[in-house]
Homo-oligomer: A and B are copies of this chain.
Amino acid sequence: MDEITFAVLGTGGIGRRALEVSQHKDVLTPVAACDRHGTAIDFDGLDVDELLAATEENIDNEVATDGGAKTADGGVKQRGEDRGVVASEQARPSDDPIQDVIDRGDGIDAVLLALPNYEHDFIPRVADRFVEGDYAGVLIDVLKRSRVIDMLDERAGSFEKRRITFVCGAGATPGFLTGAAALAAQSFVEVEAVDIWWGVGLKSGYEDNRGTVREDIAHLPEYDIETARDLSDEEIEAIVDDHGGVIEFEDMEHADDVLLERAGICDAEDVTVGGILDVRNDEKPTTTTVSVTGMTFDGETATNTFRLGDETSMEANVNGPALGYLKAGVRRNRAGEYGVFGPTELMPGF
């Protein structure tokens, strides 16, 4: 496959790991990275080691908004004068980092939107900016929430017009696990149930992944996106403490259901997603498993399963698939297929 240049919007846990994992992929060249403070662009390829090292203590866990206005302060641990990505020698401060990337979009095959989505139309609105900026290429997110897919679908026409291929939900779940479910469904002519159950141990990744923890808390029955967004770091710590560091989730609103229905595999209501998050151990509290139960053409009922080894971290299971689907998206884009794609429609590249 030909060389692929890509940009990462957001340099939190997911953006940083995506840059790191891309170093293992020959075909992928990261050429831009930004957070709300600034932008690093180099079409010869970013120096990922420098960027990650310089920004290691500067991860911005603040709640993101479109215009750059901050709803909370103190999330960025800063080293020296510069905040966030600007601590890297390769980055320049910017008032509108996303626009910097859009303006250089001609040289960028794909853009990974590794941005938090506490305002649940944030990612769709960022996509609008790429449409308005005449970007043609791949946009890819690793979002989990079902409701975002509909918002993206409403934009399918503009994406097609601008030659944008939008790959949605391409992380661990829905991305990786929904892909596995779509494949496992192939034994059956009727799928009765898809059960997605994940385990994440996040002790050493906790600092890097506060955004993810905040988003997960929004799935607890007592919270939603709005109330989770307004929690202070201290309040989040208190919630984690209340649960002894181990939080179990049931019936999560994950886009797995919508994506599997979209692909014609089963009704959204036949899909359940749950899991256990342990922020005080790296060991997974439970084995991540996808179970697909269905009926074969010859009338048997059976369950096919897909299990991830417990030693695979959440970061590995998000970023490998994200980059794999990014490659698959670029291939579709180059073949002239535009619009919105779920992971169930793409086999990720390696």
Stretch at the interface among A50-58, A107-115, A296-304: A296-304
The number of chain A residues touching the other chain, given as a range, is 35 or more
Contact A296:B308 (CB < 8 A) given known A186-B320, A335-B336:
no
Name A224-262 residues within 8 Å CB distance of B.
none
Is A151 engaged at the interface, CB distance under 8 Å to the other chain?
Answer: no
Task: Say yes or no: is A316 at the interface (Cβ < 8 Å to chain B).
Answer: yes
Residue-wise interface mask of A (180-201) relative to B, using a CB-CB cutoff of 8 A (1 in contact, 0 not): 1011111111110000000000
Name the segment of A34-42, A64-72, A342-350 touching the other chain.
A342-350
Complex Cα distance, B25 from A153, in Å, reads 25
Counted per complex, copies of this chain come to 2
Q: Is A324 an interface residue (CB 8 A)?
A: yes
Complex Cα–Cα for A249 and B190 (A)? 32
State how many angstroms separate the Cβ of A261 from the closest Cβ of chain B.
Answer: 11
Tell me if A306 and B345 are in contact (CB < 8 A): no
Q: Does A169 contact B (CB under 8 A)?
A: no
Residue A220 is within 8 A (CB to CB) of chain B in the complex: no
Cα of A66 to Cα of B292 in the assembled complex, Å? 41
B335:A297 contact, CB within 8 angstroms: no
B296–A311 touching, CB < 8 Å = yes
Cβ–Cβ contact B308 & A304, under 8 A: yes
Docked CA distance A311–B294 (Å): 10
User: Which chain B residues lie closer than 8 Å to A264 at the CB level?
Assistant: 349-350
Q: Does A267 contact B (CB under 8 A)?
A: no
| Interface segment, one of A16-24, A80-88, A271-279 | A16-24
Tell whether A130 is near chain B: CB-to-CB under 8 Å: no
Please list 27 pairs of residues, one from A and one from B, whose beta carbons are closer than 8 Å in the complex, sorted by A's number: A17-B297, A21-B189, A25-B189, A179-B347, A180-B184, A180-B306, A183-B347, A183-B348, A186-B320, A186-B350, A187-B309, A187-B316, A187-B320, A188-B312, A188-B320, A189-B320, A191-B350, A264-B350, A265-B350, A297-B315, A297-B319, A297-B320, A300-B312, A304-B312, A305-B306, A305-B309, A335-B337
The 4 A-B residue pairs whose C-beta atoms are closest, nearest first, are A302-B309, A302-B311, A24-B189, A296-B316
